[in-house]
Amino acid sequence: MEEYRKALTGWYNHSKRELPWRESRDPYTIWVSEVILQQTRVQQGMEYYHNFLFRFPDIPALAMAPEEEVLKVWQGLGYYSRARNMHHAAKTMMKEHGGKFPADYSGIRSLKGIGDYTAAAIASIAFHHPYAVVDGNVFRVLSRLFAISTPIDTSIGKKEFYALAQALLDVDNPGEFNQAIMEFGALHCLPAQPLCGECPLSRRCLAFTTGSVTDFPKKSKQAKQKARFFNYLYVHQSDHLFLEKRGEKDIWRNLYQFPLIETPGSVAPETVMGSPEWEKIVQSQQFILESVSPEKIHLLTHQRLHIRFYRIKLEGNILPGRLIPVKLTEISSYAVPKPVENFLLEMGQ
């Protein structure tokens, strides 16, 4: 295993990206960067990382902030449960750990939203504990180096890969080694076009020497995506528009959105406009339908959203009822899902 370690850390030392969180041994900073980068590209995550630390520079600042503010700083990153879990974990650290990160793996792992991967990253990078990280990059690198055919999305596969990663770990330098193997996967052993021709491990890579690089990693199944059909009513009236708050038990929990009519399939705009839900929102007021957007697709991990926006100008009084009237100039203080944010940007708001 020593040759693999040497090759990976050697490659890392001259090829790694200079990233701001790599300067730090502070567990809070490492945690923020790891959570932001879980489903986000580095370039996009960088701005969020700086904004998040600027607004919540430490655990007490995050714990004391209102949830809405945390969601607002997170807006556009998606997977909002990550931000909610961080908020929850910061409060737990205030209550149970004196406002500090626990310094052992099981204490870190017990915090809400911190799974095996993040716990290992924080424990190894901030505290030098010997825990191997296994993320998508590590699965790919290991499956190719050792030509492992066990599917990575099975419990037996996960066990096998965790054990191998742990055996390969440089226990004298776990934080740097973990970053080296992840960075190698992110920049060199790429999913579609790995740079095998200039790879320091090519002679030891079983997938390369057997000409089967693109066969790895193996998966047992592709995740199924559920299709949903959203019709958003962008209703505006003088200098107001109307929002509603999403519920607790669905995607985008507690975020704000335009009044929504969800249909079981793709339906014509006339059908939406003739529906009882439309009537409930518009409430018999005079209106002008200014535009209906083409259907836009927004992908989430397990859902494919088909979204149409209806731009409606209402005459008459401000709508009473469950909708929240919001001044156009104040809309930016509400945390909204990404497609709503994009639509507002298109509207120049």
- Which residues are known catalytic residues? 34
Identify residues 88-147 at the interface with ligand SF4 (CB under 6 A).
144-145
Interior/surface letters 156-173, b for 16+ CB within 10 angstroms, e for the rest:
ebbebbbebbeebbbeeb
CB of 241 closer than 8 Å to CB of 328: yes
Minimum Å distance from CB 196 to ligand SF4? 3
Identify which range of 26-34, 122-130, 187-195, 283-291 contacts ligand SF4 by CB under 6 A. Answer: 187-195
Minimum Å distance from CB 22 to ligand SF4? 22
Q: Is 205 in the site for ligand SF4 (CB under 6 A)?
A: yes
Q: Is 194 in the site for ligand SF4 (CB under 6 A)?
A: yes
H helices present in 193-331, as ranges:
206-209, 269-273, 276-282
Given candidates 59, 207, 305, 323, which one binds ligand SF4 under the rule CB under 6 A?
A: 207
How do 240-245 and 303-314 pair as beta strands?
unpaired
Identify residues 212-241 at the interface with ligand SF4 (CB under 6 A).
213
Number of residues written out for the chain: 349
How far is Cα 223 from Cα 241, in angstroms, rounded to an integer?
37
CB of 132 closer than 8 Å to CB of 165: yes
CB of 145 closer than 8 Å to CB of 91: no
Q: What torsion, rounded to 10 degrees, do the Cα atoms 244, 32, 249, 256 define?
A: 0
Minimum Å distance from CB 181 to ligand SF4? 10
Question: Phi first, then psi: what are they for 275, rounded to 5°?
Answer: -85, 155
How far is Cα 272 from Cα 44, in angstroms, rounded to an integer?
36
Identify which range of 131-139, 207-215, 285-293, 335-343 contacts ligand SF4 by CB under 6 A. Answer: 207-215
Q: Is 208 in the site for ligand SF4 (CB under 6 A)?
A: yes
Residue with Cβ nearer ligand SF4 (12 or 309): 12
- Which candidate, 34, 28, 35, places its Cα nearest to that of 63? 28
Residue with Cβ nearer ligand SF4 (13 or 317): 13
Q: By rule CB under 6 A, what count of residues binds ligand SF4?
A: 14
Given candidates 37, 114, 138, 201, which one binds ligand SF4 under the rule CB under 6 A?
A: 201
Residue with Cβ nearer ligand SF4 (188 or 240): 188
How many beta carbons lie within 10 A of that of residue 211, not counting itself?
A: 8
Containing 67, the helix (H) or strand (E) segment is helix 67-74
CB of 69 closer than 8 Å to CB of 41: no
Q: Is 195 in the site for ligand SF4 (CB under 6 A)?
A: yes
Q: Is 202 in the site for ligand SF4 (CB under 6 A)?
A: yes
Identify which range of 105-113, 166-174, 205-213, 267-275 contacts ligand SF4 by CB under 6 A. Answer: 205-213
Containing 105, the helix (H) or strand (E) segment is helix 105-109
Minimum Å distance from CB 143 to ligand SF4? 9
Residue with Cβ nearer ligand SF4 (89 or 152): 152
Per-residue mark of binding to ligand SF4, 138-157 (x: CB under 6 A): ------xx------------
Contact residues for ligand SF4, defined by CB under 6 A: 144-145, 188-189, 194-196, 199, 201-202, 205, 207-208, 213
